[in-house]
């Protein structure tokens, strides 16, 4: 088993190129599970039908592929619960200039 | 060692568009299976940028046309059509080839048709500008015919594309209304061009010109700009909570009704009362839209106003000023002193102050995004990739925006006062500002 913190840290290399925020601080990652060399990630997009979803999903898959022992990465795009800006981390809010 | 397999799945359907809170930072890209190839929209955008510089350059060189009492001089006609067709419509068509698949979740019916249409359209714009600039209005029918053919191909492509749309967000309705307007605009324009030779339509040519121009600016380009802003502004600004339908439905009805009313009133010369009534409907739509746009910005979670939003804020101000200038025109008798100056100031404000600024602002998102998704998206997650804002020098872009904005303010004052050196200075500044924007964005494409 790979340390979950290490996986989350790797996901911080996947950025929204417009906002400059990574998928973790944006609150797009809903869950990470591991079993028998397979890492399964549930993630969402900030808006349904998001045009960037394939490159973001692929980026998440590629970011987790670097770990030794990972044979398969499954990235699932989910829409429940719907993303809202409240999911953005404190660091992310600061980067956006959103103090609330 | 075999690299791990990456499997991407999407088990659930996204929620229906009307119910969703319009918020999200991710923009249109090429990595969706629906999106058009990068070369289709970019060819329109790059060419449109060059025409923008050309149009302002022509306006600077022939600034005299903006202070003469003679309305619709050859050079003025050429500059106006270079701006409306070469710059704004060219970019609008490219943007729709990229935007429609992403927003309405349908692939473009035929990319090959879109590419073939580009060359016909380009020839038509160049031909029309040349014939008009040379003062040969009797021979504008041939480039007008090319334009009809090219725009007809575009509309056919869009209709076949839109026929597959299952869910219609507010932006989709605006796009549909804009495309309908474009069909009417091009039909009216072609009838006008042929009528210059044959004179078979018993209507005033000036009435035809005015109706045609209003439908092009307000109906085609205007409704499109408003509709697109309902998708892009909340996305860029992370506006939340914001419901696009709360005022959007009323705004759509007011603007489309008002545009049709203005077109018919001008074409059939229904008189000042009917025109005023229709203009007030447009004005109510514009007022509500300006309020809704301000709401999008007020509830934004991304606090800094970036370059695109700066353009858009100036563009919405340009829309409000266009509406007020239009109201002043409706209330001023055609024979009154300064009426033609008011008409020119109104046209410059609409084409450059509202639609031009808005279009350039959106390009500062769309062009870097297209290039980013093409060049850098495949490397994301594996290595550090640049952000969109890293793809062009921000300070230079801001300098271009300031130059264009200042130039337009100066040119407007010059047109209103009829003072030639002020008009020249204004358009020269605007040309420089637009050239900076064009250089900046075209360099991104070839990065």
pLDDT score of B338 more than 90: no
DSSP state of A31: E
Q: Comparing B36 with B217, which gets the higher pLDDT?
A: B217
Closest CA to B162 of B94, B109, B228: B109
Could you read off the pLDDT of B134-153 as tens digits, one per residue? 988 788 889 999 999 999 99
- Give the N- to C-terminal CA distance of chain A in Å, as an integer: 37
DSSP SS3 for B34? coil
Residue B18 confidence class, pLDDT cut points 50, 70, 90: very low
Residue A27, CA distances (Å) to A81, B24, B237 in order: 12, 12, 17
pLDDT of B15: 60
User: Is the CB of A17 less than 8 angstroms away from the CB of B24?
Assistant: no
Nearest CA in chain B to A50: B26
The residues, ordered by sequence, that sit 6+ positions from B40 with a Cβ below 8 Å of its Cβ are B94, B97, B98, B108, B111, B114, B115
Residue range B177-191: mean pLDDT, rounded: 93
The ipTM estimated for the assembled molecules is 0.89
- Locate B116 and state its tokens: 């073939």
Residue A58 has pLDDT above 60, yes or no: yes
DSSP letter string, A34-75 = EETTEEEEEE--SSTT-TTHHHHHHHHHHHHTTSTT--EEEE
Closest residue of chain A to B391, computed from CA coordinates:
A17
Q: How far is B172 from chain A (nearest CA, A)?
A: 14
Render pLDDT for B249-266 as a digit per residue (tens, 0 to 9): 999 999 999 999 999 999
Nearest to B174 by CA among B216, B134, B225: B225
Test the B interface: residue of A9, A18, A88, A92 with most B CBs within 10 Å: A18
Nearest-neighbour CA in chain A from B27: distance (Å): 6
As a whole number, mean pLDDT of residues A12-40 equals: 94
Q: Is the pLDDT of residue B23 over 50?
A: no
Confidence at residue B29, expressed as pLDDT on a 0 to 100 scale: 30
Tell me the mean pLDDT in the region B14-26: 40
Give the span between the Cα atoms of B96 and B102, in whole angstroms: 10
Contact A14 B35 (CB under 8 A): no
Among candidate residues B319, B261, B262, B327, the one with its CA nearest the CA of residue B288: B319
Closest CA to B124 of B152, B103, B98: B152
| Residue B1 scores a pLDDT above 80 | no
- Write the CA distances from B163 to A72, B157, B168, integer angstroms: 39, 10, 11
Q: What percent of chain B has pLDDT over 90?
A: 73
pLDDT at B57: 97
According to the model, what pLDDT value does residue B33 have? 56
pLDDT at B53: 98
Confidence check: pLDDT of B384 > 90: no
Structural domains present in chain A:
4-83 (3.30.300.130)
Q: What are the contacts of B388-396 at 24+ separation with CB within 8 A?
A: B388/A17, B388/A18, B389/A20, B389/B306, B391/B444, B391/B447, B392/B364, B392/B368, B392/B440, B392/B441, B392/B443, B392/B444, B393/B440, B394/B307, B396/B436, B396/B440
Contact A65 B32 (CB under 8 A): no
**Cβ-defined contact of B7 to A72 (cutoff 8 Å):** yes
CB contact under 8 A, A17 and B22: no
Q: Are A15 and A76 in contact (CB under 8 A)?
A: no
pLDDT digits (tens, 9 = 90+) for B193-244: 888 788 888 888 888 889 999 999 999 999 999 999 999 999 889 898 999 9
* Closest CB from A45, A60, A70 relative to B4: A70
Half-sphere exposure of B86 (CA within 13 A, CB side): 27
Chain B residues touching residue A79 (CB < 8 angstroms): 12-15
Nearest to B401 by CA among B314, B302, B290: B314
- Please report, for residues A50, B148, B318, the alpha-carbon distance to residue A56 in angstroms, rounded to integers and kept in the order given: 10, 41, 37
Note the pLDDT of residue A100. Answer: 55
Q: What is the pLDDT of residue B27?
A: 27
- Domain architecture of chain B: domains with CATH: 34-445 (1.20.210.10)
């Amino acid at each position: 088993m790979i340390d979950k913190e290490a996986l989350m840290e790797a996901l911080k290399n996947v950025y929204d190129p417009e906002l400059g925020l990574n998928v973790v601080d944006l609150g797009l990652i809903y869950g990470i599970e591991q079993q028998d060399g397979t890492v399964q990630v549930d993630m969402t997009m900030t808006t349904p039908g998001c045009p960037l979803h394939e490159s973001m999903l692929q980026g998440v898959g590629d970011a987790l592929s670097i770990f030794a022992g990972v044979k398969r990465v499954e990235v699932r795009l989910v829409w429940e619960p719907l993303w809202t800006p409240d999911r953005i981390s404190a660091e992310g809010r600061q980067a956006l200039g959103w103090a609330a | 060692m075999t690299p791990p397999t990456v499997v991407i799945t999407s088990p659930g359907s996204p929620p229906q568009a009307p119910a969703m809170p319009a918020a999200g930072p991710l923009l249109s890209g090429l990595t969706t299976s629906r999106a058009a190839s990068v070369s289709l929209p970019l060819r329109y955008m790059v060419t449109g940028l060059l025409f923008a510089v050309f149009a302002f350059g022509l306006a600077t060189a022939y600034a005299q046309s903006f202070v003469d009492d003679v309305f619709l001089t050859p050079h003025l006609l050429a500059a106006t059509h270079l701006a409306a067709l070469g710059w704004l419509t060219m970019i609008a068509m490219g943007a729709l080839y990229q935007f429609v698949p992403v927003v309405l979740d349908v692939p473009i019916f035929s990319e090959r048709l879109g590419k073939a249409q580009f060359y016909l359209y380009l020839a038509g714009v160049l031909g029309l500008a040349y014939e008009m600039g040379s003062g040969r209005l009797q021979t504008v029918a041939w480039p007008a015919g090319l334009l009809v053919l090219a725009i007809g191909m575009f509309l056919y492509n869009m209709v076949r594309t839109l026929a597959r749309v299952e869910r219609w967000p507010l932006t989709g309705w605006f796009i549909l209304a804009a495309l309908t307007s474009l069909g009417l605009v091009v039909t009216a324009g072609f009838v006008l061009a042929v009528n210059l030779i044959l004179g078979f339509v018993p209507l005033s040519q000036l009435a035809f010109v005015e109706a045609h121009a209003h439908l092009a600016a307000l109906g085609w380009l205007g409704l499109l700009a408003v509709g697109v802003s309902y998708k892009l502004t909340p996305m860029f600004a992370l506006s939340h909570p914001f419901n696009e339908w709360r005022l959007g439905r009323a705004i759509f009805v007011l603007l489309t009704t008002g545009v049709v009313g203005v077109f018919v009133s001008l074409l059939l010369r229904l008189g000042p009362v009917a025109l005023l009534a229709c203009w007030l409907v447009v004005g109510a739509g514009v007022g509500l839209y300006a309020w809704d746009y301000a709401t999008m910005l007020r509830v934004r979670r991304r606090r800094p106003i970036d370059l695109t939003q700066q353009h858009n804020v100036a563009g919405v101000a340009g829309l409000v000023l266009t509406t007020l200038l239009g109201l002043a025109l409706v209330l001023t008798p055609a024979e009154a002193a300064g009426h033609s100056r008011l008409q020119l100031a109104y046209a410059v404000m609409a084409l450059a102050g509202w639609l031009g600024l808005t279009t350039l602002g959106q390009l500062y998102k769309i062009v870097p995004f297209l290039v980013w998704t093409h060049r850098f998206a495949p490397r994301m997650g594996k290595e550090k990739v640049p952000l969109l804002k890293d793809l062009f020098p921000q300070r230079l872009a801001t300098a271009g925006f300031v130059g264009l904005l200042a130039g337009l303010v100066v040119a407007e004052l010059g047109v209103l006062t009829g003072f030639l050196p002020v008009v020249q200075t204004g358009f020269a500044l605007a040309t420089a500002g637009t050239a900076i924007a064009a250089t900046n964005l075209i360099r991104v494409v070839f990065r």
